[in-house]
Amino acid sequence: MGTSSGSNLPHQMLPPRQQLQTDPHIFHKRCINTSCQNQLPADDCPCEICANRKGFCNLCMCVICSKFDFQVNTCRWIGCDVCSHWAHTDCAIREGEISKEEMLFKCRACNRTSELLGWVRDVFQHCAPNWDREGLMKELDFVSRIFRGGEDTRGKKLVCKCEELINKIKGGLAEATAAKLLLMFFQEIEVDSPKSLENEGMIAPQDACNRIAEVVKQTLRKMEIVGEEKTRMYNKALLGLEECEREMEEKAKEVSELKLEMEKKKQQIEEVGRIVRLKEAEAEMFQLKANQAKVEAERLERIVKAKREKTEEEYVSNYLKQRLREAEAEKEYMFEKMKEQESGGEALKFSEMLHRYDAPSRQE
């Protein structure tokens, strides 16, 4: 996580029981670091920074930038041997709190100095077994940055040794072997410097080592707390993962059932489609037959009409012929009747009667 501030962490990522209180009456009463949450000021520290810097915790925050992170057992943090305040290594280098000429760290809280070479040795001695390959290379790089550019001979040798070990690790050297080689290097060089004992405010190297060891132990305890919390979160995430897997299995079963149902529906749709196409073909056939029947009906209607007209004409013709035959027969009968009549008057009357009868017949 580098040196990113804990206050920049997403609020929803914190465990519910460790989320920050927002009541203004208790704000800045406890450390906002969820892995610390000590009462402020921590250990009732009377220094000016702890007293005046609101929300500052000297157990887990950088005395320079007031930020914290979850990095433990690392050279990325430098601890003061006197007041146990901490600072990011990058912040100390940037602000000039590290004297590379004398290999000393000046604490901004108490203005006392601490020896760096012994501190680096103790960190590697207690923490190197827990580092992986990448972690060890990063720590060696941090040590090189701390002592690079200094005038002290031991610091220059340490920089060269760190660069040498980094190259060897890249070439395949095991990290445990590299850590042992560095510890052997610390044993070879002189750790106790007479010059450092003459500086005002300095403490004996053995006391400094003891204090650093105590600080490292405290850091290890904090790391265990963080590890327990991360284990709890991991178990919770694992339970969530198992629940998700069960839900995925159930969803997979539902998807399989839906696929089967879709196949059935698809078959039903295809069957309905075939029936529809069959009915459409039947409808087209019936329509064709209906059209043919209509044409045939129109043809028959024309035939019937023609026959009706012809029949009417024949009927009229036959009727007239029949009337004509009847008239001729009656005329013949009348002529015979006239011949039989002897009197002229009767013959005249009969002729007039015959004349009246013939007139309508001719008109017809």
Residue 183: exposure state from Cβ atoms within 10 A (0-12, 13-18, ≥19): middle
How many of the other CB atoms lie within 10 Å of CB of 317? 10
Does the residue 190 lie in any domain? no
Task: Express each pLDDT in 21-60 by its tens digit.
Answer: 344 334 567 777 777 777 777 777 777 777 777 777 877 8
How many of the other CB atoms lie within 10 Å of CB of 244? 10
- What are the Cα distances from residue 153, in Å, to 148, 156, 158, 166? 11, 5, 9, 20
Chain-wide mean pLDDT for the chain? Answer: 76
Mean pLDDT of 8-25: 35
- Pick from 70, 89, 115: which residue ends a domain? 70
DSSP3 helix / strand / coil % (the chain, rounded to 5):
70, 5, 30
How many of the other CB atoms lie within 10 Å of CB of 85? 25
DSSP 109: T
Does the residue 257 lie in any domain? yes
Ordered DSSP codes for 182-245? HHHHHHHS----HHHHHSTT---HHHHHHHHHHHHHHHHHHHHHHHHHHHHHHHHHHHHHHHHH
Mean pLDDT of 58-67: 83
Instruction: Tell me what pLDDT residue 295 has.
Output: 92
Token readout for 246 is 């069960």
179, 128 Cβ separation under 8 angstroms: yes
Instruction: Tell me what pLDDT residue 358 has.
Output: 62
**Which of 85-99, 225-239, 255-269 shows the lowest mean pLDDT across its residues?**
225-239
Tokens 């006392």 identify what position? 112
How many of the other CB atoms lie within 10 Å of CB of 102? 19
pLDDT level of residue 200 (50, 70, 90 thresholds):
very low
**Which pTM does this prediction carry?**
0.44
Mean pLDDT of 314-343: 84
Mean pLDDT of 321-335: 87
Angle of the 175-188 helix axis to the 133-147 helix axis, nearest 10 = 30
Instruction: Tell me what pLDDT residue 173 has.
Output: 81
- Pick from 70, 86, 101: which residue ends a domain? 70
Strand segments, DSSP code E, in the chain are: 77-79, 86-88, 98-99, 104-106, 113-115
Domain count for the chain: 2
- Pick from 51, 70, 89: which residue ends a domain? 70
Q: Which domain holds residue 19?
A: 1-70
Proportion of the chain above pLDDT 90, given as a percent = 15
Tokens 């489609």 identify what position? 273
pLDDT of 276 above 90: yes
191, 205 Cβ separation under 8 angstroms: yes
Instruction: Tell me what pLDDT residue 263 has.
Output: 92
**Which of 40-44, 80-84, 336-340 shows the lowest mean pLDDT across its residues?**
40-44
Taking phi over 0 as left and psi of -120 to 50 as alpha, with beta for the rest, 112 belongs to beta
Highest mean pLDDT among 39-43, 165-169, 253-257, 347-351: 253-257
Q: For residue 225, what are the contacts with CB-CB under 8 A and spacing of at least 6?
A: 35
pLDDT level of residue 163 (50, 70, 90 thresholds):
confident
Q: Which of 299, 17, 45 is nearest to 61 (CA)?
A: 45
Instruction: Tell me what pLDDT residue 254 has.
Output: 92
Does the residue 87 lie in any domain? no
114, 208 Cβ separation under 8 angstroms: yes
Instruction: Tell me what pLDDT residue 76 has.
Output: 84
pLDDT of 11 above 90: no
Instruction: Tell me what pLDDT residue 132 has.
Output: 84
Q: For residue 195, what are the contacts with CB-CB under 8 A and spacing of at least 6?
A: 102
Taking phi over 0 as left and psi of -120 to 50 as alpha, with beta for the rest, 44 belongs to left
DSSP 159: H
Q: For residue 121, what are the contacts with CB-CB under 8 A and spacing of at least 6?
A: 183, 186, 191
Task: Express each pLDDT in 108-137 by its tens digit.
Answer: 888 888 888 878 888 888 888 888 888 888
